[in-house]
A and B are shown apart, each in its own frame.
Chain A
């Protein structure tokens, strides 16, 4: 087979395994906006992911439903990362308040990006990052944001196949079949 391009999640494994046994559940309540995230957590993830893939002439992560993707998958295939998110989001908020005196969502773009570079390099302030690594959480979030933005819309992100439209890829992705003459088989 060909080389794999899959992202090595070696660094996340230890925390991930621990998270698999944490019972922090998924809500099925109809009056709740999110399955796993609290409303505040979702705002933090939205602000972070929007800086990871910002809107410009093309839609950004928020519009494309990246928060929905992550929230949904944390109650499904990515459930082993629940604890990483719960701790990571708390850490981002702590860092933001320590450094700027307000929550991450309330920062201007410049400060958000500045803090994200600190997170990425493991230099963000706060007690939270003594228990968990900010750079590992940031790398995890970047990977999941990319999945939610560029992945198949069936998983809850990439709304209206916006990312594929941006790249000029046709949707639905069945090229090949259209020009295939099945009578020759």
Chain B
């Protein structure tokens, strides 16, 4: 069955797709925005410490659902397992309108200039496909600003001497500093560091018709009860719908991108909420489904002209899957550090993102979101995992604990990849993603370096016992909510998937606009960069749009 043709189908309504839909709809293009999940509002927030997007012990709150979605994970020894969204090795990202932006912690970082020029800065790295981006920070700067003002960022990075130049300050001030911030700030200064207020996609004052943060402790992993957290679901997507040019179809699962015998795409085949196969014809297709699902969709779109999937002529689709190893330290203090004021994370330093002697790359360090009691159980010192020692630790540490962590800028690895499995299909009969390979050894070296700096910061602040933390051990595949790199942006069609405007090299009406296009993904949470790229690529798309063709 074929539906009424539109100008554009956007697959996925997360950080990238939501913005693309709005930009195209505002430019007058007719848009269908397909989303596999549901549209949740602030009242769907259950504040459940075992059933949320950060701790899915009993499942993910915002999808995808366990019963219809699975993947094949291959460990470093080649052992295959079928894994579900609440399994860590599924490398899940939220499946709902807004995607991860519904339930993220909402740090809103701009990458630094060197993050776009990693190869020029550090040279070739053995075992890595490390490369420069085809675009510079300067080209992206106006679009960072647009994201900060349209979606809404609070914070104050004026105290960060390492940041790339910005034309305009952030639209909202930071939230008042909590107790952790007050403890960590003077300690950082004593160490010669340059602490400042983390930029956050969160209203610190009423902004764009939404309320200010109420400083509850249910933030990272949860939807915001008062809608103070800014995601695409409560900013750009409602604007897109208001234009009258955009139709959002929820619970629709893309099956494949359709092509004609001229090698152009003609629309998207998808299963609607009732499970019926639909074909949505369109002049162009934008894939914004995440760095695992976007390559999966391209690889599942096979035809005689594209026998290995779309954009995959040189076998680069799905390659270089990377994200962030998270490292840092947890410190226990003599006095109470707990003030029950969310979101918790508020102070950061960028002193260790670059320029670390003998280290390739680095990452930011920041204090972390408020820990639930169950989250703290994983941060015990040796020998206090269970028994009386465990209980003593929990009583002692819960209100006296500060965690400083940061994302390691990972080295992309060619063999860390997303493929489609040749046998296993999901509920809808679509071949599932097959995840294999593992992270680069350099990540561990940077991780050790950064964890040591986090521990030193806590020690200077007065922590009496410190435990180093690491999430993302060696020989494991990186991914989860910061997943990136699988449809690399580049000038050379033989070593990348999309051009510098996010257009697939050999298909002129097909775009990938999400974290997949990141060549490298900084020592920063990537969402603001995904948003900036979405504004930037949409801007070019609209400028070069010549109306409906071939119809």
B238 at the interface (CB under 8 A from A): no
Minimum CB–CB distance for B438 against chain A, Å? 12
Selected interface stretch from A23-31, A47-55, A95-103, A125-133: A47-55
Known contacts A54-B387, A77-B59; is A4 also within 8 Å of B481 by CB? yes
Minimum CB–CB distance for B96 against chain A, Å? 14
> Of all chain A residues, which has the CB nearest B375?
A5
Known contacts A142-B385, A147-B57; is A4 also within 8 Å of B471 by CB? yes
Q: B407 is contacted by which of A3, A77, A185 (Cβ under 8 Å)?
A: A3
* 8 Å CB interface, B63-99 against A: 66, 73, 75, 79, 81-84, 86-89
> Of all chain B residues, which has the CB nearest A167?
B398
Q: Type the 1/0 row for B210-248, where 1 means its CB is closer than 8 Å to any CB of A.
A: 111011111011000110000000000000000000000
Q: Type the 1/0 row for A156-182, where 1 means its CB is closer than 8 Å to any CB of B.
A: 000000011011110001111101101
* A155-B212 Cα distance, complex, nearest whole Å: 31
Minimum CB–CB distance for B343 against chain A, Å? 9
* 8 Å CB interface, A28-50 against B: none
B4 at the interface (CB under 8 A from A): no
A116 partner residues in chain B, CB cutoff 8 A: 386
A184 at the interface (CB under 8 A from B): yes
A76 partner residues in chain B, CB cutoff 8 A: 58
B371 partner residues in chain A, CB cutoff 8 A: 5
- Chain A residues within 8 Å of chain B by Cβ, number: 53
List the count of A-B residue pairs having beta carbons below 8 Å apart: 172
B394 partner residues in chain A, CB cutoff 8 A: 150, 166-167
Q: A58 is contacted by which of B374, B391, B399 (Cβ under 8 Å)?
A: B391
* A164-B66 Cα distance, complex, nearest whole Å: 29
Interface centre among B81, B326, B386, B390 (most CB of A within 10 A): B386
* A174-B215 Cα distance, complex, nearest whole Å: 11
* A76-B58 Cα distance, complex, nearest whole Å: 9
> Of all chain A residues, which has the CB nearest B527?
A1
Minimum CB–CB distance for A81 against chain B, Å? 11
> Of all chain A residues, which has the CB nearest B84?
A80
Contact (Cβ within 8 A) B57 A2? no
Contact (Cβ within 8 A) B211 A1? no
Contact (Cβ within 8 A) A150 B217? no
B310 at the interface (CB under 8 A from A): no
Minimum CB–CB distance for A165 against chain B, Å? 11
Selected interface stretch from B100-108, B120-128, B146-154: B100-108
A108 at the interface (CB under 8 A from B): no
* A176-B395 Cα distance, complex, nearest whole Å: 23
Known contacts A2-B105, A3-B368; is A185 also within 8 Å of B212 by CB? yes
A22 at the interface (CB under 8 A from B): no
Q: B391 is contacted by which of A13, A53, A164 (Cβ under 8 Å)?
A: A53
Minimum CB–CB distance for B18 against chain A, Å? 16
Selected interface stretch from B48-56, B174-182, B490-498: B48-56
B216 partner residues in chain A, CB cutoff 8 A: 174-177, 180
Q: Type the 1/0 row for A66-85, where 1 means its CB is closer than 8 Å to any CB of B.
A: 00000001001110100000
A17 partner residues in chain B, CB cutoff 8 A: 81-83
Contact (Cβ within 8 A) A147 B214? no
**14 cross-chain CB contacts under 8 A:** A1-B104, A4-B481, A6-B54, A10-B75, A143-B57, A150-B394, A164-B373, A166-B395, A167-B395, A168-B399, A175-B216, A176-B217, A180-B214, A180-B216
Q: Which residues of B contact A (CB under 8 A)?
A: 47-51, 54-59, 66, 73, 75, 79, 81-84, 86-89, 100, 103-107, 206, 210-212, 214-218, 220-221, 225-226, 324, 326, 328, 340, 342, 345, 368-369, 371-375, 377-379, 385-388, 390-391, 394-395, 398-399, 405, 407, 471, 476, 480-482, 525, 527
Can you name 12 extra interface pairs (CB under 8 A) apart from A1-B100, A174-B47? A2-B105, A2-B345, A2-B525, A14-B79, A53-B390, A76-B58, A113-B387, A142-B385, A151-B57, A166-B394, A175-B217, A185-B212
